[in-house]
Structure 1
Amino acid sequence: MRNLWRWLTVVVAVIVTTSLATACHAQKVKESTSYVSSTTPTIFFHGWGSSYRAEQQMTHYTKDHGVTNTIVRANVAKNGKVTWQGNIKRGTKNPIIEVNLANNKSTNLGEKSISDGYSKSSNYVFDVLAATQKKFGFTKVNIVAHSMGNLQVYYYLRNHGADPKLPQIQKLVDIAGHWNGLEVEKGANKVTLNPKTGEPSQQLPEYAGLITLRNTFPQQIKVLNIYGNLEDGSNSDGTVPNVSSKSLRWLLNNRAKSYQELEIKGKMGQHSKLHKNKQVDRALVKFIWEK
C-alpha cells in the first residue's frame, strides 16, 4: 500500500507539472501572437551614473512575455567606440539592444553651458545608432530612454534628426525626462505650464537649447512620455518636477506623429523606480509592440 501511495504521488506530481508547463507555454504563445513581428530593433539608453543593469527589468520583461528572444548589449567606450556583446541574426523578431556607457556621467563635461554639455554627450547616441546600422544594416529603430538618456536622445535629434543616412527613429518612449530642469536647478520649481498650449513660463538652459526641435522634430516619430508623481505634494518624482517632464508637449509643437503622456502615481513613481516598474513595462510593451 505504501508503494502504491508513493506511485500515485509521483503520477500526480508529473501531471501537475506537465499541466503547469503546458499552460505556461500556451500563455507565452498567446502573448507572442499579440505582438508585431518586426526586425526593427529597440535600443535602451540608461540615465546618469547608471548602466545597462537599469534597463534589464524592462528588457527581461519583454523577453518573458514573448516579445523577443534576442537581447544584445552595446558597450560604449569613453571615446565612443562601440563593442558588441551578442549578435542579432538577420530576420530576428523584435531585437533589443541594451546600451552601456562607460562615461555614464557624461553631462559633467565642463562645457560653457548645460546645453553644450548635453549636445556633446549626445554624440554617444550617434555612435550607437551609427554602429547599429554599420554592423546590422538597420535603417529604422525604436528607442526607450530614462532620465539623462532622454536629453541625450533629444540633443541627438536636434543635431542629426534630419540626416536620412542615419537610422530613423519610429517610436520613442521617454521615462523620467527632465527637459526643463531638475528640482535642484534654480527656477525649475517655479515654472508653470499654460493650461491650453502647455508652453512653460520659463525656459531653463537645457530646454532652450532644444527649442529648434519645434520646427525640426522628425514627424514620423510616435512618442510616449512617462513621468512619476509621488503624490506627496511635491508634484515631482523626487528628482524631476512634473512640469519639467510635461514641458515636452510644447517642445514637440504637434510635430510628432502621435504624443501620449502616462503619469505613474505613488511611491513607484519615484525617479529611479520608474525603470523597475511593471506598469511602465506593460506600457512600453503595449506602445512599441502590441498589435
Structure 2
Amino acid sequence: MKLVLITGTTLVLLISLTLLIRWVVALGRPIKRQGRLATEIGAVTLFLPGYFGSRFSFGPLLKRLVKNYQADKSLVIIVKRTGRLKLIGELAAKRSVVQILFEDKTSKPRQQAVWLDQICQLLKNQYQIDHLNLVGHSMGCITIFWYLTHQQQHAAVTIDRVVAIAGPFNDSEIARNTAIVDSVPLTAAGPLKKRPIYSALAANIATLPASIQVLNIAGRISDQQKDDGQVSVNSAFSLRYLLNRSLRRYHELIVRGRRASHRLLHENRLVDKSIAKFLWTQ
C-alpha cells in the first residue's frame, strides 16, 4: 500500500481553498437569518448586475446590507439562457433583497428588460407582490430604464424606487470600454450631444410614472479625473435631463476617491448607507 503524506502547508492550502469556494458559492445564494417573519413581506428590491456581471457584482454588498441594515436576502433568481427562471430560496421578509443573476452574462439590455418583466410577473403571481424597487450597476441601469420605458406601462407591478449606480446613460458604447471615457458636456437643456442609448430612452420617457423616485450614484476618482475609470459623471447624470423630476423625487450622489472606481462603487460603504437610507428610511 502506498501512503500519501499531507504536509501542514498543503493541509492549510486545502482548507483555505475549500473556504474560498464556499465563500464564492455563498455570494450567489440566499442568506439565512434568525427570526425572519415569513408572514411579513415588505419592500422587495431587485439587484441587477452590469455587463458580464456575476455573483461578485452585488453579492458582497447584499451581505453587508443583511448584516448592517436588517435586509433579508432570502431569494436569488437565476435567469437561464433560455429565459427560464430558476428560484433559489423563498421570498418572505421585510426589506427583502433579491439578487438577479443572468446565465448569459453578455445579454443586452433589451433582452434583459424582457426577462425583468417576466421576473416581475412571477413575483406578482407567486407572492402577490404589487410594488418593487430596482437597483442596477452599470449596464444594469440601462436594463432597468429600458424596462421602465418599454415594458413597465403594461407590467403587473408598480416600481416605487430606483437606484442607478454608474449608469452609462450617454455613452457611445454600453458594454465595452472605450479608449477615452465618454464625457459629453451638459447644458441647461441636457447633453450637448445625445448618444443613441440616450435618444432611445428619451423617445419613451413620457411613459414613465411620475411617482418613481430615483437615486443616481456616480463615481469620480479625483478632481482631475471626472469619471470612475469607465463611466463619467456627465454620462451618469445625463439621466437628470431624461427624467425631469423634482428634487424630491430625484437625488444625485457623487462618490469620490480611489474606491469610487467603476468596479469598486458597489464595494463602497457610503454607497451601502445611501442605498439603505433611500430604500428604507425616507
TM-score, reference length from structure 1: 0.76
1:89-128 residue CA offsets vs partner (Å, 9 max, x unmatched): 3xx2111110011011112xxxxxxxxxx32332122122
Ranges in structure 1 where 5+ consecutive residues have no aligned partner: 1-36, 108-117
Structure 2 residue runs of 5 or longer lacking an equivalent are 1-39
Q: Deviations over 1:9-51 (max 9, x none)?
A: xxxxxxxxxxxxxxxxxxxxxxxxxxxx861211100111111
3-state secondary structure, aligned to 2:135: strand
Q: Find the counterpart in structure 2 of residue 137 from structure 1.
A: 128
* Residue type of the alignment partner of 2:91: I
Structure-2 residue corresponding to 1:17: none
- 2:170 alignment partner AA: N
Asked if residue 158 in structure 1 is aligned to residue 149 in structure 2, the reply is: yes
Tell me if the contact between 2:191 and 2:238 (Cα under 8 Å) persists in the aligned partners: yes
Matched residue, 2:182: 189
- TM-score with structure 2 length normalisation? 0.79
Q: Which amino acid aligns with 1:211?
A: A
Give the share of equivalent positions with the same residue, in percent.
Answer: 26
For residue 191 of structure 2, give the secondary structure of its aligned residue in structure 1. coil
> Structure 1 residues 68, 188: closer, same or farther in 2, change over 3 A?
closer
- Aligned with residue 52 of structure 1, among 55, 72, 97: 55
Q: 2:158 aligns with which of 141, 144, 168?
A: 168
Counterpart AA for 1:171: R
Give the conservation status (yes or no) of the 8 Å contact 1:218–1:256. Answer: no
Tell me which residue corresponds to 1:180. 170
Question: Among residues 207, 211, 234, which one is paired with 2:198 in the alignment?
Answer: 207
Q: Is the 8 A contact 1:217 1:256 kept in 2?
A: no
| Residue 172 of structure 1: how far off its partner (Å) | 0.6
Q: 2:80 aligns with which of 71, 77, 81?
A: 77
CA deviation map 1:191-243 (0-9, x unaligned): 1101x34x001111111110124422221211000010011623110001211
* Runs ≥4 residues deviating over 4 A: 182-188
Deviation, structure 1 residue 78: 1.1
* Residue matched to 1:13: none
**Paired amino acid for 1:142:** N
Paired residue total: 240
Residue in 1 that maps onto 2:213: 222
Contact 2:41 2:91 in 1 (8 A): no
Aligned-residue CA RMSD in angstroms? 2.2
- Residue 188 of structure 1 and its aligned partner are, at CA, apart by 6.4
